Amino acid sequence: MNVTWLPSPAKINLFLHICGRYENGYHQLQTLFQLLDVGDEIGIEVNSTGKLSMTTLMPGIPEDDNLIIKAAKTLQNYTKVSQGASFHVKKQLPMGGGIGGGSSNAATVLLGLNKLWRLNLPIDTLLPIAASLGADVPVFIKGQTGFAEGIGEKIIPVKTSDKWFLVANPGVHVSTSEVFQHPDLPRNTPLISYDKYTYKHTQNDCQELVCNLQPKVAKLLQWLVHYAPSRMTGTGASVFAMFSTEAEAHHVLRQLPDEFTGFVAKGTQQSILHTQLEGILR
């Protein structure tokens, strides 16, 4: 069995501003995607039958709704390739947690199959395929920490300071569509220039609403903010705190109440997936 294992990195949104709404109903966003050095792992085993399958059960997700299979099918249909693949997943990131789990999985599959099926499509060709799968997928295709705007498709690489993060999850699910459709969601934050970004002058526009909808998110944030600057990522439910050293982050993680889960990660400029692809699949 020849399985190629690839990382599927997590991300956090250092801020998330909702600046308006387009005529098509999509929201005008500004955000800073920070890639992390931890995530899921996806094993890809190529076959010549054309069949796509999962060897790992994904609880609560029908195979047809699985972004891993969706990504592979979309790439298969676009290129008319005759090969297939089976996928193995070592899941570490919570689904629907605001840290890009499903979107990152889709990007890892697209980039991995692009190499393993020897398609050699350029990134600019993969980006619209990625966007058809979800608004966050393109950032993982580009593989750089960056400032994004529009509906999230315009991404400018940004150098961020070296920070360690404690990412914690309260164990509740937040519906992204419910948040974006909610009448109480603010939609009028002024646009900012990416080169003027400072953490303290930004916020997550979804945070107050989600804390009202899910009190456990509010409870976790109230606990975490005692130790370091803390914020929700994406539409939740995960939250994060920033630290200067790994030791500080682990010190707080050890005190995390049992009702919550968490992990420590370092911010990266380049995706750990892209680093590995450059090294092993030339």
Catalytic site positions:
11, 136
Q: Please indicate if the annotation marks 177 as binding a ligand.
A: no
Whats the size of the chain, residue-wise?
Answer: 282
Q: Which two tokens stand for residue 38?
A: 């931890």
Q: Please indicate if the annotation marks 101 as binding a ligand.
A: yes
Q: Please indicate if the annotation marks 102 as binding a ligand.
A: yes
Q: Please indicate if the annotation marks 97 as binding a ligand.
A: yes
The full DSSP string for 131-184 is HTT-TTHHHHHHTB-EEEEETTTEEEE------EEEEEE-S----HHHHHH-TT
CA 122 to chain centre: 22
Pairing label, strands 4-21, 27-47: antiparallel
Q: Please indicate if the annotation marks 175 as binding a ligand.
A: no
Residues ≥6 apart with Cβ < 8 Å to 44: 3, 4, 6, 85, 86, 87, 88, 109, 112, 113, 116
The full DSSP string for 36-81 is EEEEEEEEEEEESS--EEESS--TT--GGG-HHHHHHHHHHHHHT-
Q: Please indicate if the annotation marks 98 as binding a ligand.
A: yes
Q: Please indicate if the annotation marks 183 as binding a ligand.
A: no
Residue with tokens 């500080």: 248
- 40 strand-pairing partners: 8
Q: Please indicate if the annotation marks 129 as binding a ligand.
A: no
How far are the Cα atoms of 68, 92, 265 from residue 257, in angstroms, in the given order?
33, 19, 19
Q: Please indicate if the annotation marks 9 as binding a ligand.
A: no
Q: Please indicate if the annotation marks 96 as binding a ligand.
A: yes
Query: How many CB atoms are closer than 10 A to CB 191?
Result: 10
Q: Please indicate if the annotation marks 86 as binding a ligand.
A: no
Annotated binding site for ATP: 94-104
Annotated binding site: 94-104
